[in-house]
Chains A and B, each alone.
Chain A
Amino acid sequence: MALLKESSADMKSNIKLIDARGPRFSAALTTLVLGLALVTQSTILIALQLLVFAVGAFAGPAKTPYAFLFKKFIRPRLRGDIPVEDVRPPQFAQSIGLIFATIAFLGSLLALPALFIIATGFALAAAFLNAAFDFCLGCEIYLIGVRALKR
C-alpha cells in the first residue's frame, strides 16, 4: 500500500490501482457471509458467495457487489489520504476464494458435509485474516505455488 501522491510512477507503468480499503471491507463482508454459510450449512449462501468471488476473480475486485456497497456507503464517510494498491493481489485472492467456494458448493450439492465444512473453513480463514490482520494471501502462497509447479 502506498499513498496516492507516491503513485505517479505507477500511472506510467499501466498498473491498475484501486482504493486499498475496498478489498479490506469486502473481506469483512465475505467473512460474515461465509461464517453464516458455515453455521447454517446453506447451499444458497455459499452459491451467492461463489458468484461474488467469480465476479471478483474475472471482472476484478472493484466490480463486486461488496465493492459497490463500499463505494456507495463506506467511502463517502472515510477521510484522509486514499491508500491505493495494485489490483492484482486482491484479484488473486478472489480467485483462490473462488476455488474454495466451488469445492464447498460441490460438497453441499453432493451431500458431503465434511468437504463443505473444510472448503468453506479455508475460505473463511483467508477472508477473516485479510479483514482482521491485513493478511496478504498472494504474498504467502503464490511463490510457493510457482516454485512447486515451474521447473
Chain B
Amino acid sequence: MKSLAPLLIILLLSSVFGVRYKRSRGEFRRKKTVNGPVIDAKSMGIELGSRVTMLQFSSAFCSPCRATKALLENMVVDMPDVKYAHIDAESHLELVRELDVRSTPTTLFLNGAGIEVGRAMGTPKRSQVLAAVNAIS
C-alpha cells in the first residue's frame, strides 16, 4: 500500500526534533543539585582552574568536537582563573558513566572545588561560554 503518510510524518517529526536540537546546542544547563562527584586533577590530566574549569568530552566520530576545542582553547588564553581540559570519552568510560555524559561534545563547567555546576552539549557560541563562566563564582 503506497502512501505519502509515512514520508510526511517522518519529515514533520524530524523537523520538530531538528529545531529543538539546533536551539539546544551550546546552551548552558545548570545542574539541579549542588553536590556531585569531585573531579580532581588526576582524572583530567591538568590542574583545576582557580575559579572555573571547562572539561570537554569528545569522540572520534564527532565533527563539532574540533570546533568546540578550538573555541575553548582560544578563550581560556584571556582568562587566568579559568582552565580548559579535553578528554577522549571512549578511553575514560568510568568517568563518562559517573558524570552521565551521553553525547559529544559535552562541556562540563566545574567550580573551583572541581564540582560540576552545569554543562553544555554541542558547540557553544562565545557569548554562551562567557555567560556560563561568569555565572560561576
Contact = CB atoms under 8 A, between A and B. Distances in A.
Contacts, number: 108
Given A2-B66, A89-B61, A117-B6, A135 B90 contact: no
A2 B22 contact: no
B36 interface: no
Contacts of B2: 39-41
Contact of A143 (B4, B6, B10, B96): B96
A85 B63 contact: yes
A112 to B, nearest CB: 13
How many B residues touch the partner, as a band? 35 or more
B74 to A, nearest CB: 10
B65 interface: yes
Which secondary structure dominates chain A's binding surface? helix
A139 B64 contact: yes
Given A143-B90, A146-B90, A89 B63 contact: yes
B10 A2 contact: no
A132 interface: yes
Given A1-B66, A89-B62, 13 more contacts: A38-B7, A86-B66, A121-B6, A124-B14, A128-B11, A129-B17, A133-B18, A136-B62, A138-B63, A139-B63, A139-B104, A143-B101, A146-B59
Interface of A: 1-2, 6, 20, 35, 38-41, 85-86, 88-90, 92-93, 113, 117, 121, 124-125, 128-129, 132-136, 138-140, 142-144, 146-147, 150
